[in-house]
Amino acid sequence: MITLAYDRYDSIRKSPYPNGWGDELCNYAETLNDPEYFNILRSKFQLASGHSELRGNVIDKNGGKYVILKDMDYQNYNGEILFYPIEIFGNHNYFIEEAFIKINDVIQQSIKFAKLVSNEAIELAKLNKLKFVFNISHEPFSDKNFIFKFSEEIKKLNLKESDFIFFGGSSNLFDLYPEIKSKDFVFYFENDLLISSCKKINDLKNEPYYGLGYKSEWFNSNQILNKRNKYFVCPNRNATKPHRFSLGCYFEMKNLWEKIYCSFLQKPKSIQIIKYLSIDFENKIKEFANNFLEKLPIEMDTENLNESEKESFEVTKAFKKEIYLDSYIHIITETNFEKDIFPTEKLINPIIVLQPFILFGAPGYLKYVKELGFKTFDGFIDESYDNEYDSGKRFEMLCNEIDRLSKLSLEEIHNWYISIIPILEYNRNFAMEFANKTMFIENLKKHI
């Protein structure tokens, strides 16, 4: 059995406080008996950690347990290895920077690893009875600077690198920075966003969602045979990332709006063009940047949400069936484009609605997806962009492929689509199986 260790117990909420809060923050939280206490804390503190996937999967879903270190006689502890979870909330650099939090202009809390974890946890680690577990799996994590500085920080406390387990979000961390292998930190990559997204698919299948003003209804293969009116669908929560904004400029330049269902819900404050494009291509799409900016926001399925709900909208929780039954090829714009392979729910969206995809993501992303067991669509779609490490060239290759596909007849696209239905069904069935994977448990067991 996995046992998690927490510093303090929250007597109001009847659960442990997240590790990494420190005494000052916990003491203030003890004064709050309010359902919105977490938001109140956020308004006064820079929260470095919170509760998320690790605690839920270990305790709530897999029968694990927890202990409170402040209640233990740690010097005489002789039980199983304890795991001290630090679930990153926001910026992981809080744990290496000597920063301070102020409340009413009075310094209340310093933020740094040595100040945010208990002496009991540190001493148990020295006795080889505790492992610190950083969960950063819900974000891209390829911060070499943090890893090397954090090594210096923990050695000042006479802790070993091997006392620390990192669940990171970037599966290609060692490819990006091979020198990290010289450290004795333990790194695991759980694909937890993919797994949790697939679990949400199962929930959606079993219980259709109505919260957006329409029914997010599961559909079967016999419902996808009719001809469609649009070539592409491209949902984006925001246009603030340069690769997404630049893609919108390209849509404008090529006047693809009649061939695509599209959304860009959040408007950037200024023009955001991706770096490293060829001068000619950059100049061309820049000509259309202001036109695209004026069109924002663009919606296709979120008209019934308020602004706050649009900011947190997840495509794996809801989808408008009519849109996906009237378009063929899904254009995915991943969270990261330049370096981190960090698959998210955006990959799962086309899979649940039985669509092939072209993907704006880091180089090697498609290769990684295939290694996981999913299938892609090379042959009809030119996926050579996945091998291009120059982000400017890769972006142009993707745009050129969209342009090429948009010039085919809908008849040709439809006939190809019908021919790949077995692949589309395979991917969705595989996603259903992926939802059954356990997260964190097997890797933590290696240390017991």
Q: What is the DSSP string of 284-321?
A: HHHTTHHHHHHH-SB-SS-TTS-HHHHHT--TTT---H
Q: Mean pLDDT over residues 38-53, rounded?
A: 84
Q: What are phi and psi of 176, to 5 degrees?
A: -70, -40
Can you give the pLDDT at residue 358? 98
3-state secondary structure of 336: coil
Give the whole-angstrom CA distance, residue 232 versus residue 193. 25
Cα torsion at 309, 312, 315, 317 (round to 10°)? -70
202-257 confidence digits (pLDDT tens): 888 888 777 777 777 888 889 999 999 999 999 998 899 999 999 999 999 999 99
pTM: 0.90
The one-letter amino acid at 329 = I
Residues 6+ positions from 263 with CB-CB distance below 8 Å: 234, 235, 236, 237, 297, 298, 299, 300, 301, 302
Of 311 and 66, the one with more pLDDT: 66
53 burial type by CB count under 10 A (0-12 exposed, 13-18 middle, 19+ buried):
buried
| pLDDT higher than 60, residue 69 | yes
Instruction: Give the residue among 142, 196, 153 at the shortest CA–CA distance from 339.
Output: 142
- Return the pLDDT at 310: 65
User: Mean pLDDT over residues 173-194, rounded?
Assistant: 94
Q: Would residue 364 be called left, alpha or beta, if left means φ above 0 and alpha means ψ between -120 and 50 degrees?
A: left
Compute the average pLDDT of residues 108-123.
80
Average pLDDT, the chain: 91
Closest CA to 92 of 35, 143, 16: 143
Instruction: Provide the pLDDT for residue 314.
Output: 67
Choose between 70 and 90: higher pLDDT.
70
Higher-scoring residue by pLDDT: 75, 273: 273
E-only strand ranges, 99-208: 99-103, 106-111, 130-136, 164-168, 186-188
Distance CA 278, CA 269 (A): 24
Q: What is the pLDDT of residue 29?
A: 93
Check pLDDT > 80 for residue 105: no
CA–CA separation, 174 and 188 (whole Å): 11
Mean pLDDT on 414-421: 98
pLDDT digits (tens, 9 = 90+) for 342-383: 999 999 999 999 999 999 999 999 999 999 999 999 999 999
Band (pLDDT 50/70/90 cuts) for residue 301 is confident
C-alpha 413/C-alpha 408 separation (Å) is 7
* pLDDT attached to residue 111: 56
Query: Can you give the C-alpha Rg of the chain in angstroms?
Result: 24
Instruction: Give the residue-averaged pLDDT of 77-102.
Output: 82
Q: What is the pLDDT of residues 381-392, one digit of tens each?
A: 999 999 999 999
Task: Please tell me the predicted confidence (pLDDT) of residue 91.
Answer: 79
User: Residues 107-125: what's their mean pLDDT?
Assistant: 81
CB 216 within 8 A of CB 321: yes
Residue type, position 164, single letter: F
